[in-house]
């Protein structure tokens, strides 16, 4: 069955990708633009978004978007509404791994992120972006998503958020599970499922996807997978117009919650 949004009109699909000026978000934006989408590249610093959009081409539009700032969120949604009147795809990609300004290695992150010594300020800072920011952007974008005939929401999560996987004694990543970043992705998965269950009746699909252990600024570029490899599954899910809802997938397929 053809996707009705694409088959019955000649108008392009409209997408918003948060944190799209670099990393996985930028790769998703590139792929969407290459498939004919008009893509808004959300970036906290507009100049970074403008540079990234210029490199992608005419289908890319930079938009100032700080997911921790409700005024910024509202302004971004208002601009999209004024220019296109609807949103077909929201990719909640923006995420941080710690509350500092300097890059940290995975080892450094874990030394300060364990349950026994974690700083609550650090937890709040990371969760503000990774969890509350996703809720805020999604809620603000819903009126525009509801104007699409086939709206979708994709949340970029992490395998570290899988409690089923992490609790397995054989899981290699157990030592990397902490309250700051990893648990924020567990919370994001819960948020994903809550939105999926709520919006299913409106035919708005909501899914979570993990890039795997990818070399990005999140881990100070110490991941084992290249950006191209790590972006494949998020790109697949973002482009999938006739897929399921309420799913969590990674590079090797379905993942347990």
Query: Which residues belong to the active site?
Result: 181, 185
| Strand bridging mode 38-43 / 60-64 | parallel
Residue 35: closest CA among 51, 13, 58: 13
Phi-psi category of residue 220: left, alpha or beta, with phi > 0 → left and psi -120 to 50 → alpha: left
Cβ pair 67, 79 in contact under 8 A: no
Residue 39 and residue 55: Cα distance in Å, rounded? 13
- Measured at the alpha carbon of residue 191, what is the angle toward residues 60 and 219, in degrees to the nearest 5? 60
């Amino acid at each position: 069955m053809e996707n009705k949004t694409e088959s019955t009109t000649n108008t392009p699909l409209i997408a918003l990708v948060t944190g799209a000026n670099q990393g996985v978000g930028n790769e998703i934006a590139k792929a969407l633009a290459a498939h004919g989408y008009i893509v808004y590249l959300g970036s906290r610093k507009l100049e970074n978004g403008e540079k990234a959009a210029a490199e992608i081409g005419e289908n890319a539009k930079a938009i100032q978007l700080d997911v921790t700032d409700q005024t910024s969120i509202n302004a971004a949604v208002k601009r999209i509404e004024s220019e296109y009147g609807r949103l077909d795809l929201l990719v909640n990609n923006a995420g941080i791994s710690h509350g500092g300004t300097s890059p940290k290695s995975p080892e450094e992150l874990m030394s300060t992120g364990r349950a026994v010594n974690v700083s609550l300020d650090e937890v709040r800072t990371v969760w503000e972006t990774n969890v509350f920011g996703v809720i805020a952007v999604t809620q603000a974008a819903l009126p525009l998503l509801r104007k699409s005939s086939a709206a979708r929401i994709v949340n970029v999560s992490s395998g570290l958020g899988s409690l089923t996987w992490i609790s397995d004694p054989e899981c290699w990543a157990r030592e990397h599970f902490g309250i700051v970043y990893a648990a924020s992705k567990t919370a994001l998965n819960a948020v994903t499922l809550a939105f999926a269950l709520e919006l299913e009746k409106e035919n708005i699909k909501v899914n979570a996807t993990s890039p795997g252990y990818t070399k990005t600024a999140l881990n100070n570029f110490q991941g084992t997978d290249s950006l191209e490899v790590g972006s494949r599954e998020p790109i697949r899910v973002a482009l999938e117009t006739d897929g399921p809802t309420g799913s969590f997938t990674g590079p090797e397929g379905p993942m347990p919650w």
